[in-house]
Amino acid sequence: MHAWPASEVPALPGKGRDLQIHDTATQGKITLDPGPVARIYVCGITPYDATHIGHAATYNAFDLVQRVWLDTKRQVHYVQNVTDVDDPLLERAQRDGHDWTELAERETALFREDMTALRMLPPQHYIGAVEAIPGIVPLVERLRDAGAAYELDGDIYFSVEADPHFGGVSHLDAEAMRLLSAERGGDPDRAGKKNPLDPMLWMAARPGEPSWDGGSLGCGRPGWHIECVAIALDHLGMGFDIQGGGSDLAFPHHEMGASHAQALTGEFPMAKAYVHAGMVALHGEKMSKSKGNLVFVSALRRAGVDPAAIRLALLSHHYRADWEWTDAVLAEAVARLERWRAAVSRPDGIPADGLVEEVREALANDLDAPAALAAVDRWVERQNATDGDDESAPGLVSRTVDALLGVAL
Ligand code: 5CA
Ligand code: ZN
């Protein structure tokens, strides 16, 4: 699948600091030391009801990760999937009387446009679940042949008992796992499973549903977690730097993915850091497709909101915080964008070398975007109040804000 066009990232003087980031698995901040090529896998959308502000906030967090790494003069190898076949997508297509492939294609196209408008850097590999099926089948066969998976009425389940580290990503107790499994695509109450938490690796073909040839697995379609493992291992290999997503992916998705990878390779962890963004709410509840309380990036764009203002609104919250989208959040971002643009439009300015370092410092410290915005705000305030004589300062500030925050002034 093709991704979307990259906006250019200006090079800044000097060099950024290594990223220190909160890792869900070790429950603390760790300093990552990627090689010359940093490797990141970010879970992509299930293409319906995209792109809402919650999605955009999560992708914004991982865009910042890339920008910090690029500023350390590393290359970034970024992989993202599209869950273009799964129960919720099929259910939505069925509900609305649409062809599921058309729904997935249309929503993926809209997501690409939104990502482009928001200046999110694209992945080098943008891979759909359907196109990944030929790589998924042999992994499920291997898990089955190694005794880490079993059959139940034609469906193949992963046995969580196969992984001695199971629980090591989310650290939840059994009851919490069971509740979340039921909420998030699992089937803990299905009779005949070895452990209620065992997730499906391969679902045998159901009447009226799409299916693919699975070789010795029979006709069917892949489970959700193995999709991301197959794509990540194929394009990044084990031990990549970050697996990212919203906090609702820590369990079961990233936990199960880590277990699949452990059972396949004998290695743990699959990712050096499991990084999770907080949930954006609307009217007091998590923005979610099932509740329908959504604000779409495309609707805001159609209403004439500058995508740079949307981006500033996302950046004004720390990525790990849960926060609420309101009209006031957007209005504040629109006003901030105006102030910043006025400041960098002046021909001369007050020196900004210290600002570059402040923004670098803030982002390297667990992506503290609000602290980065506060640093720019301080420069902007002085700049708008004082007559400086540094000709290069406004340009340097524009380039800093562009390169590190993805905001074009
Ligand atoms: N296709 C799977 C991942 S493999 C999936 O979860 N798709 S999704 O469309 O439901 O979500 C895409 C990303 O947006 C995930 O990382 C999810 O955690 C994140 N996300 C969903 N809702 C919100 C929200 N309200 N706030 C923040 N992030 C959210
Ligand atoms: Zn995923």
DSSP labels, 120-143? PPPPSEEEEHHHHHHHHHHHHHHH
Of 122, 129, 83, 79, the closest CA to residue 233 belongs to 79
| Domain containing residue 344: CATH number | 1.20.120.640
Helix, strand and coil content of the chain, in percent to the nearest 5, comes to 45, 15, 35
Within a domain: 106: yes
Kindly give the distance from the C-alpha atom of residue 83 to the centroid of ligand 2, in angstroms, as a whole number. 8
Q: What are the beta bridge partners of residue 75?
A: 37
Is position 389 within any domain? yes
Lookup: tokens for 189: 């109450």
Considering the domain architecture, whether residues 220 and 72 belong to the same structural domain is answered as yes
Asked whether 4 and 51 are in contact (CB, 8 A), the reply is: no
In this structure, the answer to whether residues 343 and 247 fall within a common structural domain is no
Interval between CA 353 and ligand 1 midpoint (Å) = 37
In this structure, what token pair is assigned to residue 72? Answer: 């350390």
109/188 same-domain check: yes
In this predicted structure, the answer to whether residue 291 has a pLDDT above a threshold of 90 is no
Rg (the chain; Cα; Å)? 22
- Do both 268 and 390 map to the same domain? no
Mean pLDDT of 41-45: 98
Q: Is there a domain that residue 265 lies in?
A: yes
Of residues 73 and 292, the one with the higher pLDDT is 73
Residue 292's pLDDT is 85
Same domain, 185 and 238: yes
Q: What is the pLDDT of residue 290?
A: 79
Whether residue 261 is predicted with pLDDT greater than 90 in this model: the reply is: yes
| Assigned domain for 282 exists | no
Per-residue confidence at 148, pLDDT binned at 50, 70, 90? very high
Q: Out of 261, 277, 293, pick the residue that ends a domain.
A: 277
Mutate to test the pocket of ligand 1, among 1, 24, 41, 45 (most ligand atoms within 8 A of CB): 45
65 and 367 Cβ atoms separated by less than 8 Å: yes
Write the single-letter amino acid at 99: D
Domain that holds residue 79: 20-277
> Ligand 1 site: residues with CB under 6 angstroms?
43-46, 54-55, 57-58, 81, 83, 228, 245-246, 248-249, 277, 279-280, 286-288
Residues 264 and 323 placed together within one structural domain of the fold: no
Q: Is 320 exposed, middle or buried (0-12, 13-18, 19+ CB in 10 A)?
A: middle
Q: Ligand 2 centre from 79 Cα, in Å?
A: 11
Question: 268 and 321 in one domain?
Answer: no
| Residue 54, pLDDT above cutoff 90 | yes
Question: If DSSP states are collapsed to H, E and C, what string results for 273-320?
Answer: EEEEECCEEECCEECCCCCCCCCEHHHHHHCCCCHHHHHHHHHCCCCC
Residue 191 belongs to some domain of the structure: yes
Whether 259 has a pLDDT exceeding 90, the answer reads: yes
The end-to-end CA distance of the chain, in Å, is 31
pLDDT band at 288 (very low <50, low <70, confident <90, very high): confident
Predicted confidence band at 287 (pLDDT cuts at 50, 70, 90)? Answer: very high
CA of 291 to the centre of ligand 1 (A): 14
What distance in angstroms lies between residue 248's CA and the mean position of ligand 1's atoms? 7
How sure is the predictor about 104, in pLDDT bands with cuts at 50, 70 and 90? very high
- Closest Cα to atom 23, ligand 1: which residue? 54
For residue 295, tell me if it sits in a domain: no
Residue 147 has a pLDDT of 97
Query: Is 384 in the same domain as 334?
Result: yes
For residue 73, the model assigns a pLDDT of: 96
**Per-residue pLDDT band at 223 (split at 50, 70, 90):** very high
Whether 289 has a pLDDT exceeding 90, the answer reads no
Tell me how far apart the alpha carbons of residues 122 and 235 are, in angstroms, rounded to a whole number. 15
Q: 143 and 267 share a domain?
A: yes
- Is residue 97 assigned to a domain? yes
Pick 289 or 104 by higher pLDDT: 104
How many structural domains does the chain have?
2
Same domain, 36 and 79: yes
Q: What is the pLDDT of residue 387?
A: 85
CATH code assigned at 273: 3.40.50.620
- Residue 149 belongs to a domain: yes
Residue 6's φ and ψ, nearest 5 degrees, are -90, 135
Distance separating alpha carbons of residues 242 and 270, to the nearest angstrom = 9
Write out pLDDT tens, residues 380-399: 999 999 888 899 999 999 99
Of 56, 50, 57, 55, the residue nearest 107 (C-alpha): 50
Beta-bridge partners for 37? 75
Residues 91-113, mean pLDDT to the nearest whole number: 96
Q: DSSP secondary-structure letter at 254?
A: I
Domain shared by 156 and 270, yes or no? yes
| Same structural domain, 253 and 314 | no
